[in-house]
Amino acid sequence: MNIEKYSRGYFMPPVKSLKWTEREYITESPTWCSVDLRDGNQALVVPMSLEEKLEYFQLLLQVGFKEIEVGFPAASETEFAFLRRLIEQDLIPDDVTIQVLTQSREHIIRKTFEALKGVNKAVVHLYNSTSVAQREQVFKKSEEEIIDIAVTGAKMLKKYADETEGDFQFQYSPESFTGTEVEFALDICNRVLDIWKPTVKNKVIINLPATVSISMPHVYASQIEYMSDHLNYRDNVILSLHPHNDRGTGVADAELGMLAGAERVEGTLFGNGERTGNVDIVTLALNMFSHGVDPKLNFENIPKIISMYEELTKMKVHERHPYGGELVFTAFSGSHQDAIAKGMKWREEKECQYWTVPYLLIDPMDIGRKYEGDIIRINSQSGKGGIGYVLQQKYGLDLPAEMRESFGYSVKNVSDRKHKELMPNEIYDIFINEYVNINTPVEFINYKFTQNDHYETIVSIRMKNEVHEFNGVGNGRLDAISNVLQTQLGIYYKDLVYKEHAQEIGSGSNAVSYVGITDMDGVVYWGCGIDADIMTSSVKALFSAVNKMVSSLQLPVDKEFILLKK
């Protein structure tokens, strides 16, 4: 790699300013400004049509944005017409302020104000680039000449605003701020403020963009803190951030920037925007939410927001995207699944106030995701905890702990062999086929019981197409039948374990029984019986376990032969 080609192109403030390091977390939501319809839109392969922008605008209103940069009206017919539509059809709610972007060029500013005619209120956002690279290479101008672009633009905004009806607030961005000497950025912002003279009633927004993110987040935070501490008219200035995500640290930049004194953040849903995108407001807001701080945006139905976002922008939310991604609440691996399943149970039992389930930063249900099919999915990396959880949640089958282990391996093996994820119905099918009501080679037909001080049974069993009746006794009914199998058919085992429950999910209310038996070599075999009658379900479970053992050990099942053997 050609490492000699690169060096650090950012500027630390002249005085190190690190008060932000003493603040631990963000205690209240900033003012959010969506720039989806401008920065997001200008970065799309095909920018949105007017109708699409209208639909996206509605989406942003539903999410709860109160400030929305709706476009760059001088850029195109669509941009201009969109703003006109919003104004002429009165589509801007009273508590929402729209924002428009303009360069510092008179014909562009003029067109911008033309587009704004009839608006009640709006933020007019002026930008010019200030970095060393842009001064030298793009504008080929001195610092004073660059300041002149900003100051001239600021004066033009004031003039056109004075001539246009409506309530206008001004915003200035020293674009490419992160590649600008911080003292110069401060100087140019103060010179613009001197023109606009912000007041308590008409504050000015100074927006400090990481147009290109070129440093680690603590550098950006230090730059923001320096600006916050040294800007003139500070009480009447709203300090705003506009991070991009070139280094993958857009969210960190915004969070540290807020700790450093910023009161407002510009960004987009899911981080759409130039190159690697703007900062993702969904992530920022839900990060706050996860700390118990109200972000004042509503992401209760994130699947719907994603589907509208994808349809309108033609972009895709990545599977691993924080909060929104399809897989971000999903555990495939055994130990994660086990911990999540136990954490969910703990939560149910303890009725805890705070969400503390391991591996899940927030409760997926809070943003419209569901547990089923979302948090635990099964492949060859999965474990008994997760597999048991799926059977329990989806089919109401609460397997005994030891049986979960044995079943877990069956499922993993299938997934491994087929090299695919297994859906809950496939897991259920494996369970039914391998464990439930297994009746070969020894088929249970029916039973009769009489009770004295013990139980007597006559049980009918089919083997090799012939039905035989056997008599047996025992302390309980299952014990009586177990004794038939052992003493009369010679199918010996030990340590019979048994569990039953009602199957609350699905049609009807079946009883489910599980039986585990251990052969003479210590190998355990499990069976399950499902039946409307609880006794029958337990007998079926016993026969299922017995049949698994008989098949595995290849025991003879001819009645005469067994009796002979005995």
Ligand X SMILES: CC(C)C(=O)C(=O)O
Ligand Y SMILES: CC(=O)SCCNC(=O)CCNC(=O)[C@H](O)C(C)(C)COP(=O)(O)OP(=O)(O)OC[C@H]1O[C@@H](n2cnc3c(N)ncnc32)[C@H](O)[C@@H]1OP(=O)(O)O
Q: How many angstroms separate the CA atoms of 61 and 69, rounded? A: 12
Site for ligand Y in 364-393 (CB under 6 A): none
39 binds Mg ion (CB under 5 A): yes
120-151 in b/e form (b: 16+ CB < 10 A) is eebbbbbbbbbbeebbeeeeeeeeeebbbbbb
Beta bridge partners of 444: 461
Output the CA–CA distances (angstroms, integers) from residue 204 to 90, 154, 207, 365, 430, in the order listed.
25, 11, 9, 39, 66
Instruction: Please identify, among the stretches 195-203, 204-212, 416-424, 542-550, the one whose residues bind ligand X according to the rule CB under 6 A.
Output: 204-212
Spell out, one character per residue from 228 to 257, where the chain touches ligand X: x when CB under 6 A holds, - when not. Answer: --------------x-x-------------
Q: How many angstroms separate the CA atoms of 468 and 479, rounded? A: 19
Spell out, one character per residue from 204 to 233, where the chain touches ligand Y: x when CB under 6 A holds, - when not. Answer: -------x----------------------
CB of residue 317 vs ligand Y: minimum separation in angstroms? 22
173 binds ligand X (CB under 6 A): yes
| Token pair listed for 507 | 């049609």
**Whether 222 contacts 228, CB under 8 Å:** no
CB of residue 214 vs ligand Y: minimum separation in angstroms? 14
Site for ligand X in 22-61 (CB under 6 A): 39
Nearer to ligand Y, 112 or 513 (CB): 112
**Binder of residue 139, out of Mg ion, ligand Y, ligand X, none (CB less than 5 to 8 A by kind):** ligand Y
**Binder of residue 18, out of ligand Y, Mg ion, ligand X, none (CB less than 5 to 8 A by kind):** none
How big is the site for Mg ion, counted in residues (CB under 5 A)?
Answer: 1
Tell me how far the alpha carbon of residue 551 is from its chain's centroid. 46
Q: State the residue number with the nearest CB to Mg ion.
A: 39
Q: How many angstroms separate the CA atoms of 167 and 171, rounded? A: 13
72 binds ligand X (CB under 6 A): no
CB of residue 273 vs ligand X: minimum separation in angstroms? 8
| Token pair listed for 140 | 């080929």
**Binder of residue 424, out of Mg ion, ligand X, ligand Y, none (CB less than 5 to 8 A by kind):** none
| Token pair listed for 435 | 């464990």
The only residue of 40, 71, 153, 209 in contact with ligand X, by rule CB under 6 A = 209
How big is the site for ligand X, counted in residues (CB under 6 A)?
Answer: 10
Output the CA–CA distances (angstroms, integers) from residue 21 to 190, 244, 289, in the order listed.
26, 22, 21
561 binds ligand Y (CB under 6 A): no
**Whether 144 contacts 193, CB under 8 Å:** no
Tokens 């019986």 identify what position?
529
DSSP secondary structure, 302-367, as one string = HHHHHHHHHHHH-----TTSTTTSTTTT-B-SHHHHHHHHHHHHHHHHHT-SS---TT-SS-GGGG
Name the strand (E) or helix (H) holding 563: helix 559-565
253 binds Mg ion (CB under 5 A): no
498 binds ligand Y (CB under 6 A): no
Site for Mg ion in 486-525 (CB under 5 A): none
Nearer to ligand X, 211 or 513 (CB): 211
39 binds ligand Y (CB under 6 A): yes
Summarize as ranges the residues that interact with Mg ion (CB under 5 A). Answer: 39
The residues binding ligand Y (CB under 6 A) are 39, 42, 72, 74-75, 103-105, 108, 127-128, 138-139, 149, 175, 211, 274
Residue ranges binding ligand X (CB under 6 A):
39, 101, 127, 173, 175, 207, 209, 211, 242, 244
